[in-house]
Chains A and B, each alone.
Chain A
Amino acid sequence: DQQVKQNSPSLSVQEGRISILNCDYTNSMFDYFLWYKKYPAEGPTFLISISSIKDKNEDGRFTVFLNKSAKHLSLHIVPSQPGDSAVYFCAASARQGGSEKLVFGKGTKLTVNP
């Protein structure tokens, strides 16, 4: 049973526009969420995180929104740049439950076209 789901395997966006990547989770014990970016032949790079006590966190062009009632989070990238083209992974952990392991989705491949 997949606890973290990224239902869109791929997304294509024009440079300068907004990219919205979505993630759903099923485990109500998850209280910390992270987004990672991965280029081919490299390990995942941490992008941004959000605690369940917040509903929004911003860092430059990246904003993560959390809707706890819907068990849904999204990553917004504005404006999108060609260098943002990569696979994006959503991850979650149940930190207050004593579990610090990260549970990942399958990833969404973002392509930003010049």
Chain B
Amino acid sequence: DAGVTQSPTHLIKTRGQQVTLRCSPKSGHDTVSWYQQALGQGPQFIFQYYEEEERQRGNFPDRFSGHQFPNYSSELNVNALLLGDSALYLCASSLALGTLHIYEQYFGPGTRLTVT
């Protein structure tokens, strides 16, 4: 039973560029959340996707966008990269039961993004 997978593992980009990160959820999960973890901080919620729609969003600018595909996998896109976007980007998957109750989120290994 495959857990949450993310690609790529590491990425180096230049300021102003655009980046796409990918995530495949744990088998049987239908909800994907994205988090940004800066050095020395806890993960910060970016947004969550369910049924191919963004259902909740944290305090991140519109430069951060995402997508969920019919197979529940997801992409995180960041445009006009800034130095401050350098962080570990974590994808978490979970299972929605009903409209509100989502059980524990399971995390992937993350993508380390460095912006120079």
User: A residues engaging B (CB < 8 A)?
Assistant: 4, 34, 36, 41-46, 49, 89, 91, 95-96, 98-107
Contact = CB atoms under 8 A, between A and B. Distances in A.
B101 A95 contact: yes
Contacts, number: 60
B24 to A, nearest CB: 13
Interface stretch (B13-21, B39-47, B66-74, B76-84): B39-47
A102 B43 CA distance: 9
Interface residues of B, number: 26
A101 B45 contact: yes
B58 interface: yes
Given A95-B101, A104-B42, A44 B48 contact: no
Interface of A is mostly: strand
Interface of B: 4, 6, 33, 35, 40-45, 48, 56, 58, 90, 92, 94, 100-102, 104-110
A49 B110 CA distance: 22
A47 B56 CA distance: 24
Given A106-B41, A106-B42, A44 B107 contact: yes
Given A42-B109, A44-B107, A95-B101, 16 more contacts: A36-B107, A43-B4, A43-B90, A43-B108, A46-B105, A49-B104, A89-B42, A95-B100, A101-B56, A101-B58, A102-B35, A102-B43, A102-B105, A103-B45, A105-B42, A106-B40
